[in-house]
Amino acid sequence: MELIAPPRAVVFDMDGLLLDSERICMEIFADVCTQHGFAFDRGVYARCIGTNREGTRRVLLEGYGAEFPYEVIEHDWMRRYEARVLAEPVPVKAGALAVLECLDERKIDIALATSTYAPIAARKLELAGLDGYFEIRVTGDQVSRGKPDPEPYLEALRRLGHAADGCWALEDSDNGVKAAHGAGMMVVQVPDLIEPSAEVRALGHPVVDSLLDVLALLGEHKSKC
């Protein structure tokens, strides 16, 4: 793997990157769609991944059409999803804890930039045992423009006190990659449910199989993890 400059700070996405929550979310959405007489469209759903609630609403209405009962489906979908993820831990992705511990040992600043709203993000991190790593959290209800707009990453950098140069963003979704790239950061993508599009791959950022590969990238530098 090509050697890249070590990070001055790292900003993490959460769902689909640290936590295996996107799979749960998608399966519940597909089930709710079926219950309401709509076939699950994976292509439409893929465009929602990484966006905030307003972005998801826009994508689903554009994809399914004006007859799609978004408010009804969103209510059932979120009720069931939140009942699941707020009650029991979501599985932590392979390598997530190791990467966080590596950065902590090397005293590299970290932050979270997630489209999830603050109370839900806090509970997910708490249940997963990751809450102690993220004092700085930019959540979907704290920005006016969600991913793929760069605002969440720009706000994370502002709170960290770092310029984008030399800072890494770790993302699973194309929308997240576009946001971090637009903020001027070095992005490492760890695809989850959906492989990167040709448009996103053309950005030239590293695309790896898991966070264990991110650990390998960090370990290539003098200060081993």
Whether 13 is catalytic:
yes
Give the SS3 label for residue 162: coil
Question: Which amino acid is present at 27?
Answer: E
Q: Among 13, 15, 20, 76, which one carries the catalytic annotation?
A: 13
196 contacts 189 by C-beta, under 8 angstroms: yes
Residue with token string 């991190």: 125
Phi, psi (degrees; rounded to nearest 5) at 171: -140, 155
Question: What is the sign, positive or negative, of the torsion defined by CA atoms of 195, 215, 171, 46?
Answer: positive
List the one residue out of 100, 103, 110 whose CA is nearest residue 137.
110
According to DSSP, residue 110 is labeled: E
**CB burial of residue 35 (10 Å; 0-12, 13-18, 19+):** exposed
Q: How far apart are CA 216 and CA 219, in angstroms?
A: 5
Catalytic residues: 13
